[in-house]
Structure 1
Amino acid sequence: MALPPARPGRRADVVSMKEGEAALDVTGDLVHGAMLTAVDADGSTRPVGLGGALSQAHGIRRLELPVHTMLPVVLRQLLLPITLDALGAPRTRQEWGERFRRGRFSEGERARLADYLGPGRYGDRFRLFDAERPFAQVAGLQALNGETKSTAQLVPSVASGNNVPLFSALSEADELPLTPGDAVLWLLHVHCWDTASIKTGAVGDPRADKGKTTGNPTGPLGQLGVVVPTGETLYETLLLNTPVMPDGLRDDDRPQWAWNERPSSLGHASPADPAWSERPARGLLDLLTFQSRRVRLFPCRTEEGLRVNRVIVSAGDRLTQTPEYDPHTVWQHTAKPKKGQPHQRPRRHTSGRAAWQGLSTLLAMTLPAQGDGPYTSVLLRQIGDLQGARVLSEQYPLGVETAGLEYGTQSAVVENAIGDDLPLPVKTLLAQDAWLREVLLDCVDQASQVARALDGLNNDLRRAAGGDPLPRDKGSRPSAQFLHSLDRTMRRLLVGLRTVGEDDDELLERAQLAWEQSVWAAAGTEAGLLLAAAPPRAIVGRTVKNGDKEFVYRSGKAAGIFRAKLAQVLTRAAEEARTVVKETAAA
């Protein structure tokens, strides 16, 4: 791929890179170049390529990535399919456990990974600017109108077309030069999360019409509630995201860089050509590396070094259905689905909620006994099975990251990004042992009930002052600030519950009491602010008729109802408060 000159106003004669900049040669060698940033155990950061990230995975704490939605992208489009294809999937829990206990790739495994990424196998397929087979792109891709667009098309937080974020620092007319390392991350992000907006019609795409392609779905991850289990090192995170596959990978299941090895009888369009297919995934490797767009990056020379400043993003393959073996999503189980629909469909995360507020979904370890309901991800169920089989320690410091995008206006724009992480006690993932899971879900439910009581107090105070309650979908609610204030407390509780055993009744009771007291204090603070903000007329209140009934609303009555609800929900904290009052009176 030839390097075009930079746009006017930029010097195009200097190609050397600044000292310390991620070094990728003019072909964009992702294996040996420094496309990723590794965070080591001591917190220091360093650039690594694909080869280094895998061979040194045991010493890398995590990867430093630009946005929360990027971790599943790097895992699915790069690290997991490479390790699965090179080493094979573990076929038993015992094999998985042996790999995990080792804590690193063995010498033999590192040699196989190096061979896989070497020049004799697929090394030349991981070159971002290769003239014939650029990684995850279509060589020579051209738009029907002959135009290219700004790289802002790749980054959802930057204004582009109809996608205009409220606080974007750039407009569509501004240049957004990306380093090769950043460009490959956002390239893969588009394959996973792109909006469903109209795409540029490509030369060679028989379905393009009038210079564009319509009817595009979002990228495959945009339709999921993504859940990624994480470990103490990158190696452990890779294993935690590796499913046990008793039958191994399918023979005809190939990652996108090995598309030419797929049987021609499948009739699927090549991801290296402008044409595309609407099709199911052939297996896990195909699913993880699914190419939902046809893309071409245009690099240029600048005084800062090699940069990507223009791009073409056109329609790509369309996934007909998310298979039930997708490892990274939670599910909604429907007992009686409509004709032609599966029993399980991906369940998206709810915008504006912390991950712990959705623990009832993350910890739904069994299918609903009756009717419809949530069902947790394949990988979280597997972790529970591994712990139950004593392959994974019950005190292992498991983490979970959730990610999602909220789309608006026919999924053509990004409204909000969803991302959170939290510690999760492994014991809560045991399907056959629900005692700790029930305790944790009770704590979450208590927070929800108190949050509703706070909103009820707010509405009663508004009525007492002569106003109306807040509409369900409008206004700022006190429950949002209240639940946010509990975030750190819930994380401490989750970490503490990692070490609680089934016989530690006293310790568990103290933990629940401490939680309730924290909830009581946070609710009291928020209620005090509401009562202080109520106007004087709320003290006198008013009477509202509803049919034959009359309802009296006063601030004092509203506060009494709220306190009663608080005592009803937080029974331990209420009893402890009464005991303190009695002891104080007796003294």
Structure 2
Amino acid sequence: MVNLVDDAWLPAQWKGGGRERVSLRVALTRAGELRGLAIEPPTLLSAVMRHVLLPVWFSALGQPSSRAEWRDRFERGGLDAQQGQLLDLYLDTWRSSFDLFSPERPFAQVAGLETSAGETKPVSLLVPSVATGNNVPMFTSFTEAHAYEMTPEDAALWLLHAQCWDTAAIKTGAKDDEQAKKGKTTGNPTGPLGQLGVILPEGRTLYETLLLNTLVSWDAKAAGNAAGVGREDYPQWQSPEPHTSSWRKRPAAGPLDTLTWQSRRIRLVPEDTADGVRVRRVVVCAGDRLAARPEPACEPHTAWNYSAKPKKGEPPMKPRRHRPGEHAWRGLAALLALGREEDGDGPRTSELLQQVGDLQSEGCLPEAYPLQVLTCGLEYGNMSAVVEDAAGDRLPVPTAALVSDSRVRHLVLEAAEQAEGVTRALNGLSADLRRAQGAEPLPWDKGQRPGMTFLQAVDLPMRRLLLGMQKDADDEDRIEAGMGAWEEILHRLAWDTARSVLASASPTTFAGRKAGESKTYRAADAERIFRKRLRDILYRAADARTDDGHDTYGDDDAEGEEPS
């Protein structure tokens, strides 16, 4: 009825700008003509890339054996005739495994899957943003009583999302699942991506994106042996036997097994309607559980936290998750953490971004290459049984910033730290003014602190700075001029926020309040401390103002008067 190899189901954008759904075959064989997949939200895009496109790409074409071979593929800009034939041959060989409603082996599902009570649930169960069961998002008029249906094409997308991101805790027991108790299975973890902070590098075309997500020459067999798995590494659709309702806990056999991990047993229930085939009901039960977190070499799409002395029974490397509500550039220190031994404990970037830096340093990527980095993740609540928030961002990252000894890297990290430093200075100003009127500073996790207002205003200038560093990576003078302009913008935005904080201060803050025997907090002291902090952080702007004969870090109004 619907076969993902040749039926159009993937929303895609052509380089010329047009959008349409394409088949898996078209998406891969004509990847050089596509700008990318036009799929939202980012968590859905990452699921499709990891669970289908990348595993097919790797399985059909293999990994580049060296960075020189990777560069040759990149410079070609698309598949050559031999690679096109290999992809077609692979897709033809495994085509029957991509049938969405096959009665024997439906794609990423279990044929005939039933619950012990013979019940099905609304297909909205697959969509975290739609109210169903215990998962009730705020600010939605949709309830579980509403009818919800999907086309087969959309159902295929959200099927993949559930395999990657589904919530944890209790799941309905399958009819023949011997591990189910009283019709339920407990202790289910989230889908594998729910435990990561996904980082997915993107290029100018889908072809380049696929290459940027291709590690040079991994040894899948060795990875499986290292994990203690006695089988060859392959994607789920190449399993010798179709999946059943039974599940097990085991380590991943390697990267392909990790990418296509079957964390749930699912069956889509198609119905014939006046508008064609639709999916209104679904069965979702427990699936395989990872016995251990994959190593970085088998899980290239996340950053890591490294500990030289981990707690007993814990690995030294743990996936680093994103924080919803934060712009991706606030995590630049982790995105660019290249994992040198002398760095000790702390963040390590993903294997793929590490490789991008290596490719840049060896001349395999143009110095001004417009790399984009997609970051996404879900925040779970209440025993990870519900979705509370989502994180998703797309950030321009200069490839030179991923080279350990580059000046661009130093300046990118400096710019991010300057923004954070000004944020702390503004929050410090607010805290000192509150003390001056006899109140306690706002707790870090409560209320709206002025630093957050400032960070929202800084977002666009930061992205412009990163784009400028991409474009002018080899021009030190232009980059330094860009840093000067960046500091001027930060200075202006900082005073925009500081003025409102000072203007809203109570008149009693001018006289101040005593704290203890010797400390008195006054508005004038709070402002003076803020000015000094700003001068120290934005030293280029401070020097420029001194050279131009301006007041030392005053306001930027037409008369040059400082706020008081």
Shorter-normalised TM range:
over 0.9
Query: Cα distance, 1:249 vs. partner?
Result: 5.9
Query: What are the Cα deviations for residues 510-565 of structure 1, in whole angstroms up to 9, with x where unaligned?
Result: 1111111111111111111222222333334x31333x3332232x3322221221
TM-score, normalised to structure 2, is: 0.93
- Confirm or deny that 1:197 pairs with 2:165: no
Counterpart CA distance in 1 for 2:339 and 2:242 is 37
- Confirm or deny that 1:40 pairs with 2:11: no
CA distance 1:378–1:413, change in 2 (3 Å)? same
Secondary structure of 1:336's partner? coil
Secondary structure of 2:188's partner? coil
- Confirm or deny that 1:553 pairs with 2:522: yes
Secondary structure of 1:199's partner? strand
Query: Cα distance, 1:271 vs. partner?
Result: 6.3
- Confirm or deny that 1:565 pairs with 2:522: no
- Confirm or deny that 1:417 pairs with 2:390: yes
Query: What are the Cα deviations for residues 278-324 of structure 1, in whole angstroms up to 9, with x where unaligned?
Result: 11110111111000000011111222221111111111011122222
- Confirm or deny that 1:257 pairs with 2:265: no
CA distance 1:240–1:505, change in 2 (3 Å)? closer
Counterpart CA distance in 2 for 1:117 and 1:508 is 47
Q: Is the 8 A contact 1:226 1:329 kept in 2?
A: yes
Counterpart CA distance in 1 for 2:99 and 2:76 is 32
Q: Which runs of 5+ in 1 are unaligned?
A: 1-26, 261-269
Which residue does the alignment assign to 1:212?
Answer: 184
- Confirm or deny that 1:56 pairs with 2:36: no
Q: Is the 8 A contact 1:197 1:413 kept in 2?
A: no
Residue of structure 2 aligned with 1:477, choices 440, 449, 457: 449
Q: Is the 8 A contact 1:322 1:346 kept in 2?
A: no
Residue of structure 1 aligned with 2:246, choices 275, 284, 297: 275
Counterpart CA distance in 2 for 1:94 and 1:439 is 29
Which residue does the alignment assign to 1:328?
Answer: 301
TM-score, normalised to structure 1, is: 0.89
Question: What letter corresponds to residue 108 of structure 1 in structure 2?
Answer: Q
- Confirm or deny that 1:142 pairs with 2:114: yes
Which residue does the alignment assign to 1:110?
Answer: 84
Q: Report matched runs for 1:363-374 at 5 Å.
A: 363-369=336-342, 371-374=344-347
Query: Cα distance, 1:496 vs. partner?
Result: 1.1
Query: What are the Cα deviations for residues 10-63 of structure 1, in whole angstroms up to 9, with x where unaligned?
Result: xxxxxxxxxxxxxxxxx2211111111111123210110111111111111011
Which residue does the alignment assign to 2:332?
Answer: 359
Counterpart CA distance in 2 for 1:558 and 1:303 is 70
Counterpart CA distance in 1 for 2:335 and 2:52 is 25
Query: What are the Cα deviations for residues 240-269 of structure 1, in whole angstroms up to 9, with x where unaligned?
Result: 001111646668111100111xxxxxxxxx
Query: Cα distance, 1:370 vs. partner?
Result: 5.1
Residue of structure 2 aligned with 1:574, choices 523, 539, 542: 542
Q: Report matched runs for 1:224-239 at 5 Å.
A: 224-239=196-211
Residue of structure 2 aligned with 1:522, choices 480, 493, 496: 493
- Confirm or deny that 1:300 pairs with 2:271: yes
Which residue does the alignment assign to 1:20?
Answer: none
Residue of structure 2 aligned with 1:488, choices 460, 469, 479: 460
Which residue does the alignment assign to 1:125?
Answer: 97
Secondary structure of 1:492's partner? helix
Q: What's the C-alpha RMSD, in Å, of the aligned pairs?
A: 1.8
Secondary structure of 2:70's partner? helix
Counterpart CA distance in 2 for 1:257 and 1:198 is 27
Q: Is the 8 A contact 2:220 2:255 kept in 1?
A: no
Q: Is the 8 A contact 2:304 2:347 kept in 1?
A: yes
Secondary structure of 2:169's partner? coil
Which residue does the alignment assign to 1:19?
Answer: none
Q: Is the 8 A contact 2:357 2:402 kept in 1?
A: yes
Query: Cα distance, 1:143 vs. partner?
Result: 0.7
Residue of structure 2 aligned with 1:382, choices 346, 355, 374: 355
Counterpart CA distance in 1 for 2:471 and 2:221 is 37
Q: Is the 8 A contact 2:12 2:38 kept in 1?
A: yes
Counterpart CA distance in 2 for 1:235 and 1:560 is 54
Q: Is the 8 A contact 2:396 2:467 kept in 1?
A: yes
Counterpart CA distance in 2 for 1:380 and 1:205 is 41
Q: Is the 8 A contact 1:69 1:419 kept in 2?
A: yes
Aligned-residue sequence identity (percent) comes to 49
Question: What letter corresponds to residue 573 of structure 1 in structure 2?
Answer: A
Residue of structure 2 aligned with 1:535, choices 463, 483, 506: 506
Q: Which moved more, 1:558-567 or 1:400-409?
A: 558-567
Q: Is the 8 A contact 1:322 1:345 kept in 2?
A: no
Query: Cα distance, 1:582 vs. partner?
Result: 4.9
Which residue does the alignment assign to 1:4?
Answer: none
Residue of structure 2 aligned with 1:460, choices 432, 444, 453: 432
- Considering Cα pairs closer than 8 Å and 6+ residues apart, tell me whether 1 or 2 has the greater RCO: 1
Question: What letter corresponds to residue 239 of structure 2 in structure 1?
Answer: W
Counterpart CA distance in 1 for 2:183 and 2:262 is 21
- Confirm or deny that 1:240 pairs with 2:240: no
Secondary structure of 2:501's partner? helix
Counterpart CA distance in 2 for 1:354 and 1:271 is 42
Query: What are the Cα deviations for residues 315-345 of structure 1, in whole angstroms up to 9, with x where unaligned?
Result: 1011122222111010111111123322211
Which residue does the alignment assign to 1:263?
Answer: none
Q: Is the 8 A contact 1:225 1:403 kept in 2?
A: yes
Counterpart CA distance in 2 for 1:323 and 1:176 is 39
Counterpart CA distance in 2 for 1:205 and 1:57 is 41
Q: Is the 8 A contact 1:149 1:312 kept in 2?
A: yes
CA distance 1:196–1:246, change in 2 (3 Å)? closer
Which residue does the alignment assign to 1:175?
Answer: 147
Counterpart CA distance in 1 for 2:218 and 2:434 is 60
Q: Is the 8 A contact 1:365 1:429 kept in 2?
A: yes
Q: Which moved more, 1:395-404 or 1:334-343?
A: 334-343
Which residue does the alignment assign to 1:11?
Answer: none
Q: Is the 8 A contact 1:88 1:248 kept in 2?
A: no
Q: Is the 8 A contact 2:305 2:320 kept in 1?
A: yes
